[in-house]
Amino acid sequence: MKSISAYNPIVICIYYLSAAGILMFSQNPILLLFGAIGAIAHFLLRNGQKNARSHLYFFLIFIVLGLVNPLVSHNGKTVLFVINDAPITLEATVYGFVSAGILVTVFYLFRTFTDIMTRDKLLYVFGRFSPKVALVLSMGLRYVPLFRERAKKITETQKALGLYKDDNIFDKLRCDLRVFSILITWALENGITTADSMEARAYGTGKRTYYSRFRFGTSDILLLCVIILCTGMTALGLAWGALDFAFYPMLTFTESTPLGIASYLSYGILMMIPIFAETGEKLKWQYLRSKI
């Protein structure tokens, strides 16, 4: 089995839309558990120990958003404690952390999505439907790492010139504003240069031609069938209420049914697909290296 990034971009898009869409339209803690395990494990497999700061940011978002709901909403029967005559309930706390967990899991999913879906893949997916949207989207995603790299260079230059000070918070804020101003000026100039270059090359004046190095293979069709089957089974469970979970007035699970169990297993398999793919690719690579 090859890495998930090696499959056809259309298959990759359908997978991430399915995985994230099911989470966003459900409030089921078990689905959240499967989704969080799959999304975080896939992110770690692809990045290893890099991007440790991202984990910290996501954890802080999870904690802050999880604690906000019980402080502003006091629904539920199970009172944990009282703060200034305001009851903090178990149901509101669980609801807050489940909602925060869904948001953070979707963040993890789309972090790996942006790593996998390069500009040429986005152009392949959206180019035939809306070339302008595809171009704007790919250029926007390209500007994110460019902005980060350019901001780093500007900051280092400012420090080398002795203009960047860390003595107190006001000096640091003034220097950061200077760097931001330079960065915006560079972005505007670069945008004008890009527009002039596209005009000089007669972009948009003739019939658009397409080139793509991506093809649908047997493995893409098989993976797409698995994704559609798992997504359809999970969506069927949601539609028939087999995966319902009530937070208020008490935490209540729907009774287990064959459809509900099949839906849970289907979503679990869906979230494990990238892990199986990445693990199989690494094992295959290690095996081939051992034969050298």
pLDDT of 228 > 90? The answer is: yes
Give the pTM.
0.76
d(CA 76, CA 70): 10
What is the pLDDT, as a whole number, of residue 109?
93
pLDDT of 148 > 90? The answer is: no
d(CA 150, CA 129): 33
Average of per-residue pLDDT across 231-256: 88
What is the pLDDT, as a whole number, of residue 270?
95
Domain ranges, ordered by start, for the chain: 4-123+224-290
- Confidence band (pLDDT; 50, 70, 90) for 105? very high
Best CA proximity match to 38, nearest among 27, 46, 49? 46
Measuring CA to CA, how many Å separate 211 from each of 120, 133, 163, 260? 10, 17, 48, 44
**Which residue reads 């790299």 in tokens?**
149
What DSSP assignment string belongs to 95-137? Answer: HHHHHHHHHHHHHHHHHHHHHH--HHHHHHHHTTT-HHHHHHH
